[in-house]
Amino acid sequence: MTVHITSLQALPAVRDYRISVAVMNCDPSIRYTVLVDTPEYNRFFEELGHTFGPIHYWRKRPQSLLGRIWYYFTGESSAGRELAQKIKTLETDIIQTQNLDYLGYYAIRYTDRPVVHDVSDFYSIFPADQGMPRRRPFSLWGQYVHRRRLWYEKFVFERADALIFNSPQMLEVAHELYDIRGETMVIPNAVPAADVPQQSLTKLSVLDGEYHLVFVGHINQPKLDRLCQVADQGLHIHLYTYQAANFRATLLRACAGHPYLHHHGTVPYRELLLQLTQYDYGLVLWYDGATARFFDASLPSKLFDYLASGVPVIVGSYKALADFVLSRNCGFVVHNVSEIKEKLAARFTVGGRKQYIMEYYVPDLIALYRRLA
């Protein structure tokens, strides 16, 4: 029996791509359609190879002040009816909402389809100020949005048919905070089998006798500051990043002015994983002052990108990361970046790569789809 999943997103979602591609590889009778909140869909992730289904749009985000007032305060029921009609037109069996809780709220309240909500950033414990740790307190509007998002999170966590988390620690936090009644499961940010590199490039360290470390993913000033601390020790740091447009010039200046920082921009996903094979270690350090509970609970996608490419990792001393790495001996944990250089000489292996591949984890999700459809 064919099961049609509508993936309801606000923005392109790398995690949704990973899960969906693996599911379809394991069970071709399951198909996905992407339904994006607004037509301003960012093509960036598509260009990097993260496309997995046809794309449709839910509603237009208004530009005028009156339109925005309607959108935020009085337009809920009309938006809900529009979503319900879209879901019906798409002949959806199950709605899978990605990360943002208002998507789950609308899907649960205004449609009659089962809703599986995938949690990635977990709003109530997420460090909303990570780009600007010293910013001023919330404005009145910010406080309103914050409280509304907390309410959405509670609504979805306690009413969704199922919830997916990216680590056991994140699931534990959710059970502490909410009265969860739906099914739950853990699916980490693993790599689809089709994207795993089938060959390896020559290690740069073999060519020049120096250590070459790599960082991938979103970058901002706090993360760059931490990476500079590592590079200042005479360790090459290779950056494959995406960032806010207004931060790009700062990033490029920093790399141009530092002999051990190397910026490679963004490359398509499969090419990225191949490029990773030439480095000695992958970095997951977060940044100085990263104390929010989220950091102890999350296993970011870059961790699996490195390991699936055969590259051991260096991680900060956060619970989910430390437990994962130490249990597999696939790298080492540091409490301070000053420890890195002295630990690099140790030998680590990533072990069996099956544990970093998404197809290893999705059979339980496929079984859930079958029960809900």
Residue among 333, 292, 302 nearest 316 (CA): 333
- DSSP code of residue 61: P
- Name the token pair of 147: 């409280």
Q: What is the pLDDT of residue 292?
A: 87
Q: What is the CATH number of the domain that holds 221?
A: 3.40.50.2000
Q: How far is residue 214's CA from residue 237's CA, in Å, rounded to a whole number?
A: 5
Strand partners, 34: 7, 55
Tally of domains in the chain: 2
Is the whole-model pTM more than 0.95?
A: no
Q: Are residues 185 and 204 in the same domain?
A: no
Q: Are residues 335 and 223 in the same domain?
A: yes
What is the phi/psi pair of residue 366, to 5°? -60, -40
Residue among 245, 207, 205, 213 nearest 231 (CA): 213
What is the phi/psi pair of residue 230, to 5°? -75, -45
Q: Are residues 101 and 202 in the same domain?
A: no
Q: Are residues 129 and 67 in the same domain?
A: yes
Q: Are residues 218 and 172 in the same domain?
A: no
* pLDDT of residue 208 exceeding 90: yes
**Tens of pLDDT, residues 262-302:** 999 999 999 999 999 999 999 999 888 888 899 999 999 99
Q: Where do we find the tokens 């499961």? A: 185
Q: Are residues 201 and 232 in the same domain?
A: yes
Q: How far is residue 367's CA from residue 167's CA, in Å, rounded to a whole number?
A: 19
Q: How far is residue 198's CA from residue 219's CA, in Å, rounded to a whole number?
A: 28
Please state whether 336 falls in left (phi above 0), alpha (psi between -120 and 50) or beta: beta
Note down the domain range covering 24. Answer: 3-192+359-372
Contact 115, 278 (CB under 8 A): no
Q: Are residues 178 and 246 in the same domain?
A: no
**Tens of pLDDT, residues 48-73:** 888 888 999 998 777 787 877 777 77
Q: Are residues 206 and 310 in the same domain?
A: yes
Q: Are residues 235 and 302 in the same domain?
A: yes
Q: What is the pLDDT of residue 129?
A: 63
Q: Are residues 342 and 363 in the same domain?
A: no
Q: What is the pLDDT of residue 130?
A: 58
Q: How far is residue 365's CA from residue 35's CA, in Å, rounded to a whole number?
A: 20
